[in-house]
């Protein structure tokens, strides 16, 4: 492994933590209103981060072009977030503050995020709520008409704002409507059904993108003064996840191949309460709200032989309530990473339930007996109904079956305090960047980060870059664009020409199983090294044996998927290398070799308190990267003291 000797500079402003952002805003270069319209900003992806950024920048006077692969910007997967959004408003008078939200987020991330970014996030959180309310987001209200809050994700204060179980939908629609208004005004030119397939660098700066029109297949390029990637996470590297079918790593991975560093790709979040996989036809996984664990008891049979029996025939003494047994003080409410790993252990032990053996029971019988079915129905009725729709089982009569699933990715393209990557002009927002969640994201924090980046951070930090770019426009007919278009067209043609025997999905599914098995909830050296053999082999087979049907000149979803899976087949190797190099356990990254005697994550602050940012190196072999170079950004904690998370 090659390690760069130079420490990566996050460009955190100097001064005390609580003054950094204010001082930054005071000092950052401004662009004259008359000059703003001379700059074109390319926004790729229109979820919470992209839509909020595109709308805000257009309102400020920049020319904005926005791109999404959906038929409408309203479809982005931000829409599926259920729980809520955190903000340090302290409306409940329960002792919340910016400082407390900051600390909870840093600690939740297992001390692997950049202090100054997280503090800024906590500061911006209060403005987000104001902004969303002004847009008409119908947050839950008290009878007096003021905003309601609930507690979430183990926080000791009630700071989560919510719109029934559809908070992500309502926040996205707010940003989408602001965006549509700018489209109507002509300030944003929107390109739906348009997928970014490459980044264009001119003179080392990100000055454009190459896109494919998904309806007619036309490949074209767009020149701009800066590029914003707001393209979400890479959870679909595992094939099965709670992400939408379309979620992919292509935009960020293509930027990585042009030299943008990819940070902490091994940090993935596995959510403990999802509906288990039913069979190999399964296309995605569905999250069940974690709140169910308030009244449900998690168990598996003590004996393997009992796994096939109906749960009602397994007597109380033959059941292993393993969370209550292992974590007596937290019990069924043990944190996400702990609960997920415990479920995996039970199933690895051969005691998993359900048709595939990959499931554990979440049993409401005791609660129904104690509180009555009516109370349980009031609390969780919609969830029980959703469960029944998917599984055909009535959870009032028999225990639910649940299993962990990939849910969110904390890693992403490396960015500095300005949200700019090491490639000048390339900004990265939302889940696509790495900056705020460290090794583990807390509940109700993803929506907060996407909107903070788009509404309140990029409108300031973009000036820092653009102020120096007035006379450095890339000509749209520059040879770099034509060359990039040629490369994309050739790759598309190549994918369609292979005409092998296997479908794109079959490769994706196989890759996902490998990753889930060896680079999922628990990882070890041998397994990861095995992946470094198997992934390149699978990639090799893909380029010889995939069958991408149809043509390039019309709507062709197999072709879209083919390109995305080809990128996953390279990107997963980077995830594995990162997981292999990080010889410690922290947050969502659990290395079996590094655990305490009682099975808890064992962090190694002396050696690993840094961001691992990987630089792409072209491989000699066909279609494969060679070993990337590691750049380290040391995490200097000036404000908080590193501590061990304990849940015993």
Partner 1 sequence: MTSTNGHSQTLETDQPGAAQRHGGKVMRFHLKIWRQANPQSAGRMVDYEIDNVPTAASFLEMLDILNERLVARGEDPIEHDSDCREGICGTCSLTINGIPHGGQRGSATCQLHMRTFRDGDTIYVEPWRARPFPVIKDLVIDRAAFDRIIQAGGFITARTGSAPEANALPVPKVAADLAMDAAACIGCGACVAACKNSSAMLFTAAKIAHLNYLPQGQAEKDTRVLNMVRQMDKEGFGGCTNQYECSAVCPKEIDAAFIAKMNREYALASLKDITTGLGSAVD
Give yes or no for residue 72 binding partner 1 (CB under 8 A).
Answer: yes
Q: Identify the residue among 41, 42, 66, 163 touching partner 1 (CB under 8 A).
A: 163
* Residues in contact with partner 1, shown as a per-residue x/- string from 176 to 215 under the rule CB under 8 A: xxx-xx-xx-----x-x----------------------x
Residue from the set 547, 552, 595, 604 that interacts with partner 1 by CB under 8 A: 547
Which stretches within 332-372 are classed as H helix?
336-348, 365-371
* Candidate residues 5, 16, 33, 143; the one interacting with partner 1 per rule CB under 8 A: 143
**CB-CB contact of 67 with 209 (8 Å):** yes
Q: Looking at 83, 235, 246, 563, which residue binds partner 1 (CB under 8 A)?
A: 246
Give alpha helix (H) positions in 196-300: 250-257
**Options 28-36, 276-284, 602-610, 628-636: segment touching partner 1 (CB under 8 A):** 276-284
| Closest residue by Cα to residue 301 from 359, 364, 367, 341 | 359
Q: At what angle do helices 250-257 and 557-581 cross, to 10 degrees?
A: 60
Tell me how far the alpha carbon of residue 15 is from its chain's centroid. Answer: 31
Name which of 568 and 610 has its Cβ closer to partner 1: 568
100-139 binders of partner 1 (CB under 8 A): 127, 129-136, 138-139
Residue in 85, 244, 266, 292 binding partner 1, rule: CB under 8 A: 244
Tokens describing residue 485: 């278009």
SS3 of 213, please? strand
Residues noted as catalytic: 336
Considering beta carbons, is residue 183 or 513 the nearer one to partner 1? 183
Window 446-465: residues binding partner 1 (CB under 8 A): 455-456, 459
Restricting to residues 390-429, name those near partner 1 by CB under 8 A. Answer: 390-392
Nearest distance in Å: CB 398, partner 1: 16
Q: Kindly state the smallest distance separating residue 255's Cβ from partner 1, in Å.
A: 23
Determine if 309 is a binding residue for partner 1 (CB under 8 A): no
- Which residue, 278 or 345, is less far from partner 1 as judged by CB? 278
- Is the CB of residue 219 less than 8 Å from the CB of residue 197? yes
Place of tokens 């889940």: 431
Return the residues of window 608-647 that contact partner 1 according to CB under 8 A.
none
Three-class secondary structure assignment of 571-629: HHHHHHHHHHHCCCCECCECECCCECCCCCECCCHHHHCEEEEEECCECCCCCCECCCE
Q: Which of 503, 524, 552, 604 binds partner 1 (CB under 8 A)?
A: 503
Q: Pick from 590, 514, 646: which is nearest to 342 by CA?
A: 590
Q: Does 18 bind partner 1 (CB under 8 A)?
A: no
> Would you tell me the crossing angle of helices 525-545 and 557-581 to the nearest 10 degrees?
160
Q: Which is nearer to partner 1, 52 or 332 (CB)?
A: 52
Of 36-44, 100-108, 278-286, 432-440, the segment contacting partner 1 by CB under 8 A is 278-286
Smallest separation (angstroms) from partner 1 to the CB of 301: 18
Kind and range of the H or E element at 177?
helix 167-184
Q: Is 506 among the residues that bind partner 1 (CB under 8 A)?
A: yes
Interaction of residue 523 with partner 1, rule CB under 8 A: no
By CB under 8 A, tell whether 307 contacts partner 1: no
Q: How far apart are alpha carbons 161 and 15 in whole angstroms?
A: 32
**Any contact of residue 75 with partner 1 (CB under 8 A)?**
yes
Between β-strands 226-229 and 400-409, what pairing exists: parallel, antiparallel or unpaired?
A: unpaired
Residue 545 touching partner 1 (CB under 8 A): no
Binding track over 584-603 against partner 1, x by CB under 8 A: --------------------
Residues 211-240 that bind partner 1 (CB under 8 A): 215
> 387 in helix, strand or coil?
helix
554 binds partner 1 (CB under 8 A): yes
Structure token digits, residue 17: 């933590």
**Beta-strand (E) ranges in 259-347?**
262-263, 268-274, 297-301, 319-320
- Confirm or reject binding of residue 142 to partner 1 (CB under 8 A): yes
CB 207 within 8 A of CB 223: yes
For partner 1, the binding residue among 40, 63, 160, 169 (CB under 8 A) is 169
* Strand partners of residue 141: 147
The 81-100 contact track toward partner 1, x by CB under 8 A, reads --------x-x---------
By CB under 8 A, residue 59 contacts partner 1: yes
Do residues 211 and 67 touch, judged by C-beta distance below 8 A?
Answer: yes
Site for partner 1 in 331-370 (CB under 8 A): 355
- R_g of the chain, CA atoms, integer Å: 24
Report the distance separating Cα 629 and Cα 2, nearest Å: 5
State the nearest-atom distance from the C-beta of 390 to partner 1, in Å: 7
Q: How many CB atoms lie within 10 A of CB 639?
A: 16
Of 244 and 448, CB closest to partner 1: 244
| Longest alpha-carbon distance in the chain | 77
286 binds partner 1 (CB under 8 A): yes
Q: What is the DSSP string of 517-557?
A: HHSSSSB-HHHHHHHHHHHHHHHHHHHHHB---S-SSS--H
For partner 1, the binding residue among 18, 71, 366, 583 (CB under 8 A) is 71
Binding to partner 1 by residue 55, rule CB under 8 A? yes
Residue among 131 and 252 whose Cβ is closer to partner 1: 131
| Nearest distance in Å: CB 195, partner 1 | 13
Report the nearest approach of partner 1 to the CB of residue 471 (Å).
Answer: 28
435 exposure class (CB count in 10 Å sphere: 0-12, 13-18, 19+):
buried
Of residues 365-394, which lie at the interface with partner 1 (CB under 8 A)?
Answer: 389-392
């Amino acid at each position: 492994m090659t390690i760069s000797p130079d420490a990566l500079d996050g460009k955190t402003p100097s001064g005390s933590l609580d003054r950094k952002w204010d001082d930054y805003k005071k000092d950052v270069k401004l662009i004259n209103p008359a000059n703003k319209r001379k700059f074109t900003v390319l926004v790729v992806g229109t979820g919470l981060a992209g839509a909020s950024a595109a709308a805000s920048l257009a309102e400020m006077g920049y020319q904005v072009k926005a791109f999404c692969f959906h038929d409408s910007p309203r479809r982005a997967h931000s829409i599926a977030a259920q729980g809520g959004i955190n903000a340090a408003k302290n409306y409940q008078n329960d002792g919340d503050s910016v400082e407390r939200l900051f600390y909870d987020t840093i600690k939740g991330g297992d001390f692997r995020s950049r202090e100054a970014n997280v503090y800024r996030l906590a500061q911006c959180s209060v403005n987000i709520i104001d902004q969303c309310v002004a847009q008409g987001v119908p947050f839950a209200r008290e009878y007096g008409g003021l905003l309601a809050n609930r507690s979430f994700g183990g926080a000791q204060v009630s700071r989560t704002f919510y719109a029934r179980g559809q908070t992500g939908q309502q926040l996205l629609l707010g940003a989408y409507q602001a965006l549509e208004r700018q489209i109507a005004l002509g300030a944003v030119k929107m390109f739906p059904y348009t997928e970014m397939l490459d980044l264009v660098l001119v003179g080392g700066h990100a000055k454009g993108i190459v896109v494919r029109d998904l309806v007619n297949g036309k490949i074209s390029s767009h020149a701009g003064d800066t590029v914003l990637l707001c393209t979400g996470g890479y959870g679909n590297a595992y094939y099965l996840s709670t992400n939408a079918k379309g979620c992919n790593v292509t935009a960020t991975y293509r930027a990585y191949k042009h030299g943008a560093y990819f940070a902490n790709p091994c940090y993935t979040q596995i959510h403990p309460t999802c509906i288990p996989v039913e069979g190999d036809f399964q296309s995605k996984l569905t999250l069940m709200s974690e709140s169910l664990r308030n009244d449900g008891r998690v168990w598996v049979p003590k004996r393997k032989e009992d796994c096939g029996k109906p749960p009602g025939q397994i007597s109380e003494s033959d059941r292993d309530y393993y969370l209550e047994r292992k974590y007596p003080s937290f019990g069924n409410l043990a944190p996400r990473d702990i609960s997920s790993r415990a479920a995996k252990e039970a199933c690895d032990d051969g005691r998993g339930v359900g048709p595939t053996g990959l499931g554990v029971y979440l049993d409401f019988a005791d609660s129904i007996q104690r509180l009555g079915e009516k109370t349980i129905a009031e609390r969780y009725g919609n969830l029980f109904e959703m469960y029944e729709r998917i599984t055909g089982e009535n959870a009032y009569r028999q225990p639910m079956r649940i299993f962990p699933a990939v849910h969110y990715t904390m890693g992403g393209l490396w960015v500095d305090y300005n949200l700019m990557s090491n490639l000048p002009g390339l900004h990265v927002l939302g889940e696509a960047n790495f900056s705020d969640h460290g090794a583990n994201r807390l509940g109700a924090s993803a929506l907060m980060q996407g909107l903070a980046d788009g509404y309140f951070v990029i409108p300031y930090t973009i000036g820092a870059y653009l102020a120096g770019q007035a006379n450095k426009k890339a000509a749209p007919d520059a040879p770099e664009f034509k060359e990039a278009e040629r490369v994309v067209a050739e790759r598309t043609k190549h994918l369609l020409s292979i005409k092998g025997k296997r479908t794109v999905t079959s490769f994706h599914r196989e890759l996902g199983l490998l990753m889930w098995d060896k680079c999922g909830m628990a990882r070890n050296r041998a397994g990861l090294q095995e992946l470094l053999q198997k992934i390149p082999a699978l990639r090799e087979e893909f380029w010889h044996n995939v069958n991408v049907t149809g043509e390039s000149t019309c709507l062709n979803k197999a072709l879209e998927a083919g390109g995305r899976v080809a990128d996953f087949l390279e990107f997963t190797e980077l995830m594995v290398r990162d997981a292999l190099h990080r010889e410690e356990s922290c947050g969502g990254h659990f290395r079996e070799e590094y655990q305490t005697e009682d099975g808890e994550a064992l962090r190694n602050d002396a050696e690993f308190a840094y961001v691992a940012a990987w630089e792409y190196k072209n491989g000699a072999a066909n279609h494969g990267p060679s070993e990337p170079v590691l750049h380290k950004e040391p995490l200097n904690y000036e404000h908080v003291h590193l501590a061990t998370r304990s849940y015993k």
